[in-house]
Amino acid sequence: MNSQTLSIAFVFFLVLSTVIRLWLSIRQAAHVRTHRGAVPAEFAASIDLAAHQKAADYTVAKSRYGRIDLALGIVWLLLLTFGGGLQVLHEQLGRVLDPTSLWHGIALFGALGVLGFLWELPGSLYVTFVLEEKFGFNKTTAATFITDLVKSTTLSVLIGAPLLWVVLWLMRSMGSDWWLWTWGVLIAFNLAAMVIYPIFIAPLFNKFEPLKDEALAARINALLTRCGFKSKGLFVMDGSKRSAHGNAYFTGFGAAKRIVFFDTLLATLTPEEVEAVLAHELGHFKHRHIWQRVALFAVLSLALFAVLGWLSQQAAFYNGLGVQAQSEALALILFSLALPLVTFPLTPLMSFWSRKHEFEADAYAVANAQASDLVTALAKLYRDNASTLTPDPLHSLFYDSHPPAAIRIGRLQGKA
């Protein structure tokens, strides 16, 4: 491998992913606009035209901003690589820190994180306070936005910096097999985070209170008993603090499993519908979808670390991406920048796998709750979250982790 070949490959995957993303985004917006004027027949009784048109306009607005965000991301990527940004940052930090020290690598990550945050800040502010506000979803105040930023930054420093130091030390100290050691550490960290996050980190950002509705709690506990599921507790999260979107989810594993409902969800759905939605989520656990994804992540990350272990020793890897220096930190950064471009063609495969899991979870829900309740719950969620009922088929096939509304509802109505 030489640097020119790698540069050409990088540009090829960049152009390929960009063209596909733009093409699919334009298709999505055009298809949604075309079907904006009428509610699909299967939803005519549950979603009015105004809600359908709001979802269409919301989808088109997000697609439009997504294309701007894509362009900004490409500019940032090219500035760091062929534009020499990473090389300049490496050299400037070398004026105050020994370029061969691990602390220089940590400082490089920190500086890049700050610059990346500043680059993306206008977009974050626009999405939160303009786009989401326009469609009535934003509940985040400026104070909450700043507080979240301070908390997330503090956590990144307290948790991320020590972990990064360990990774860089392993890369330097463990010889040619460093990638295997590093993979093991990161897998262990991710598993630990599944236990630690719901107990210690999530409460820093949201308030979690035990479910107070005794009748609903009794209904849910009866469902859990039927399904043989044990949980650490039922909690309500103040999701309305930041957004009007509703959701419910499981978090943690083992003894740390928790069931969390957004307060916005409970304000919208009937007890029967909440039970049906929860039965769907239980289906993911019963089919071991979470552990399948953990296992896939472990296998793929092992393969990727092996590739990185080889690339990090190749001068062409650095030179081909616009960097003359070589270091453990630069290897990690360059690999993380290039990886999304190379893996982008796998997106439809992952989406297909996810949709398969959703159908399996729906089937489990129907076996343990009423299909009609899940249908009405989903219709309300589509309506309240302004999810389009008429996505472009190719865009949906490529990206959507959940089946299109019409297909999903159609299957469930066949089982009602």
Known catalytic residues? 281, 362
Which residue's entry shows tokens 């360059």? 334
Strand, helix or coil at 328? helix
Q: How many helices (H) and strands (E) does the chain have?
A: 18, 4
Q: At what angle do helices 328-343 and 102-126 cross, to 10 degrees?
A: 40
Across the strands, what pairs with 263? none
Asked whether 401 and 351 are in contact (CB, 8 A), the reply is yes
Which residue's entry shows tokens 């009748």? 215
Asked whether 379 and 52 are in contact (CB, 8 A), the reply is no
Rounded Cα distance between 170 and 114, Å, is 25
Rounded Cα distance between 251 and 205, Å, is 15
Torsion angle of alpha carbons 331, 336, 337, 339, nearest 10°? 110
User: What would the DSSP string read from start to end of 262-318?
Assistant: EHHHHTTS-HHHHHHHHHHHHHHHHTTHHHHHHHHHHHHHHHHHHHHHHHTT-HHHH
Asked whether 262 and 274 are in contact (CB, 8 A), the reply is no
Q: Which helix (H) or strand (E) holds 235?
A: strand 234-237
Rounded Cα distance between 123 and 143, Å, is 18
Rounded Cα distance between 130 and 341, Å, is 29
Name the token pair of 406. Answer: 């019409």
